[in-house]
Structure 1
Amino acid sequence: MDIILLFFSAVFFAYLLEPLCSRVEIICNSRAIASLLAIVFALIVLTILGLVLLPLVESEFQKLRERLPLMISVAHGHLMNHLNGLNIDGHADLIGNLKSKVLELVSNYKEKISEYALSFILGGTNIVLDALGWLVIVPVTVFYLLKDWGKILSNCKQTLPLKLEKIAIVVASETDKKLKLYLKGQFYTICTMAIFYSTALFIAGYENWLSIGILSGLLLILPYVGFVISMLISLLAGILDLGFVQGPIATIIVFSIGQFIEGFLLTPKLVGDTVGLHPLAVIFSLLIFGSILGFTGLLIAIPITAILSSLSAQALRSDFS
């Protein structure tokens, strides 16, 4: 486990728990006890969620994964029938090859899992170190970060030159406000849309309505890309469950309504206005951070861009004031 990842994970969790820790400190009048109680509370919540939700979600995604080859085969059959009716030459080999490639990719999924499991078994030391890092090092680091949060901020402030101190405080305050509003907005948006998609797909008659609904909500973390992925999966499931005509129609209706709710009602009010980024800035930040850091870059692109936006805006104000 990369020690840098452990450290930044601990900083992130401490940042999330700091408001709770400060409120508990008012009651118990001890920062150390408040830090410990905040961590215990977070662990209890995560444990309950893991015991209750994970088995259910895992079962649903297992069903979805097992049905993927059948979804692809059914979609292929319907598509071939329609193309045959149009008398288009050369389409059979192309569609057949595409189907074979996709089915091969899906069938290799189990083999990949077996390979990863074998590599983990052979590298047992890494498993122990990873578990030790997440179960011991991260909680301990979070505890000391929470306990000395005020001292850490004070020391950072003292290391700054007097000329930069005022600007740094303004930028830090503005960035902190934006990040907290962004995280809160993303959480509410994901939960709301997961409930909407699950309910709408259940009403439409999808067998895997829960797994697709939860996945569609979670993939909102990846703007634009997540929507396309979840819609394609829903389209395949719709063709299998509802037919080649009703399935795509139901998918288009559900995801059009969902996109309207998420894009015009939730995101602008809960996320967009708080971060204050133009859509082009969002797209380019995703491309840049994604190309540099991969999947992790897609997750942190918007928050980091918001921080850089605050820094540049404050720098311009200070130059022209």
Structure 2
Amino acid sequence: MISVVSRWYQERFSDPHAVTLFLLLVFGFSVIYFAGSLITPFLVAIVLAYLLDWPLIRLMRLGLSRTWATVIILLLFVTMMVMLTLGLIPTVWQQGVTLVKAMPTMLKQGQEFLLMLPQENPDIFNAELIKTASLAVQDHVVKSGEMILSASFASLFDIAAILIYSILVPLLVFFMLKDKVIMVKALVSILPQNRRLAMEVWTEMNGQIANYIRGKVFEIVIVGFCTWLVFFFTDLQYAALLAVLVGFSVLIPYIGAAAVTVPVMVVGLFQWGLTPEFTYMMVAYGIVQALDGNLLVPILFSEAVNLHPVAIIMSVLVFGGLWGFWGVFFAIPLATLVKAVFNAWPKREDTPAEV
């Protein structure tokens, strides 16, 4: 057994470049796992820097210096975020509060509907089982409401942290954009000399991460806006709130779309029942989801589409369990990183069999 492990180690780690790549991966994963909450502003700044680097390069091609291009892009971005915060968040918050207040009525109507099923179809539905299930759902909804309420109160105490982040993150983004070349050179200078494989993986992943972040932001905006149009023209209640949920659901491939469909169906059923209006809304909503999965995602994430759906779902579960939101957000790039590492890792040369 020891000889097998020793032979495997010699085959896979005899190259010093492979050892360097392995140690860098272990170090990076350990930092994010053990200190993820401490470096959250830094992670947010990295995401925003990747997002804003593309328009920054376009401005520099027009003749602006990197400093002035950074200032203009950052000012435009902050202005857009302030306008979005003042325009969208109050509406979403108001609709969320209204939905929470309407939940007891919706729950009561749902219980009445379920209790009527055994009376109309006694051979199919069991009255005691329906009653037990409805009580369990009611208890779950009450506990969920308490969790939401406690989270709302807890968020009031995070205002100071939000204010600090609102100052710290833009500063980090500014220096990351302005001094990008200097920071990259400084980082490369402290790496070990045997870094060929690490640089190969970094070169491949750098462009993919940038494309992924831009594509994911575009997907959130496009899917959220198209869904809002569907809800608005079909006159669905809580249109802005549900559209925001649908937009952010694209952060979780496959699972997010399935999960967010439940509240959309529930609100539609309690508003219209099983009527043509409900059918039209769900068909239009399904068309948006189908276009997202079959047209928008392949266009925006051509590299990620090469990953098998099982690999994507497993990466969401594994990295989301390890790092929470950031693990879910970067699940596809991390899965692509694992694939890139396996492709770049030195492989044993096949020796001809002895005759």
Task: Give the TM-score normalised by structure 2.
Answer: 0.75
Alignment partner of 1:94 is 2:129: yes
Summarize deviations over 1:122-157 as a string: whole Å, max 9, x none: xx6x653x1453033222222222222101111233
Q: Compared with structure 1, are the counterparts of its residues 258 and 290 closer, same or farther at alpha carbon in structure 2 (3 Å cutoff)?
A: same
* Aligned-CA RMSD value: 3.3
Return the alpha-carbon distance in structure 1 between the equivalents of residues 204 and 217 of structure 2.
Answer: 20
Of the three residues 110, 128, 146, the one matched with 2:177 is 146
Alignment partner of 1:75 is 2:75: no
Summarize deviations over 1:86-142 as a string: whole Å, max 9, x none: 214883333334333433444455544554465567xx6x653x1453033222222
Summarize deviations over 1:253-299 as a string: whole Å, max 9, x none: 34442332122222222225455311111011112112223344222
Q: Is the 8 A contact 1:201 1:209 kept in 2?
A: yes
Q: Compared with structure 1, are the counterparts of its residues 113 and 264 closer, same or farther at alpha carbon in structure 2 (3 Å cutoff)?
A: closer
The corresponding residue for 1:172 is: 202
Q: Is the 8 A contact 1:175 1:307 kept in 2?
A: yes
Q: Which amino acid aligns with 1:285?
A: S
Structure number with the bigger relative contact order (C-alpha 8 A, sep ≥ 6) is: 2
The corresponding residue for 1:313 is: 343
Q: Is the 8 A contact 1:194 1:217 kept in 2?
A: yes
Return the alpha-carbon distance in structure 2 between the equivalents of residues 117 and 241 of structure 1.
Answer: 27
Larger Rg: 2
Of the three residues 272, 285, 288, the one matched with 2:315 is 285
Q: Is the 8 A contact 1:222 1:298 kept in 2?
A: yes
By how many angstroms is 1:43 displaced? Answer: 1.1
Where in structure 1 are there 5+ consecutive unaligned residues? none
Q: Which amino acid aligns with 2:312?
A: V
Alignment partner of 1:155 is 2:186: yes
Of the three residues 128, 135, 138, the one matched with 2:166 is 135
Q: Which amino acid aligns with 1:290?
A: G
Return the alpha-carbon distance in structure 2 between the equivalents of residues 168 and 127 of structure 1.
Answer: 40
Q: Is the 8 A contact 1:205 1:241 kept in 2?
A: no
Q: Which amino acid aligns with 2:261?
A: M
Of the three residues 257, 261, 269, the one matched with 1:239 is 269
The corresponding residue for 1:181 is: 211
Moved more, 269-278 or 286-295: 269-278
Q: Which amino acid aligns with 1:86?
A: N
Q: Compared with structure 1, are the counterparts of its residues 48 and 204 closer, same or farther at alpha carbon in structure 2 (3 Å cutoff)?
A: closer
The corresponding residue for 2:14 is: none
Q: Compared with structure 1, are the counterparts of its residues 271 and 69 closer, same or farther at alpha carbon in structure 2 (3 Å cutoff)?
A: farther
Task: Give the TM-score normalised by structure 1.
Answer: 0.82
The corresponding residue for 2:32 is: none
Return the alpha-carbon distance in structure 2 between the equivalents of residues 249 and 161 of structure 1.
Answer: 61
Q: Report the secondary structure of 1:221's partner residue.
A: coil
Where in structure 2 are there 5+ consecutive unaligned residues? 1-35, 351-355
Q: Which amino acid aligns with 2:127?
A: A
Summarize deviations over 1:70-91 as a string: whole Å, max 9, x none: 3333333333323332214883
Q: Compared with structure 1, are the counterparts of its residues 193 and 33 closer, same or farther at alpha carbon in structure 2 (3 Å cutoff)?
A: closer
Moved more, 167-176 or 109-118: 109-118
By how many angstroms is 1:218 displaced? Answer: 1.9
Of the three residues 324, 329, 334, the one matched with 1:299 is 329
Q: How many residues align?
A: 315
Instruction: Give aligned-pair identity as a percent.
Output: 24
By how many angstroms is 1:235 displaced? Answer: 1.6
Q: Is the 8 A contact 2:92 2:241 kept in 1?
A: yes
Return the alpha-carbon distance in structure 2 between the equivalents of residues 73 and 316 of structure 1.
Answer: 63
By how many angstroms is 1:50 displaced? Answer: 0.9
Q: Compared with structure 1, are the counterparts of its residues 10 and 190 closer, same or farther at alpha carbon in structure 2 (3 Å cutoff)?
A: closer
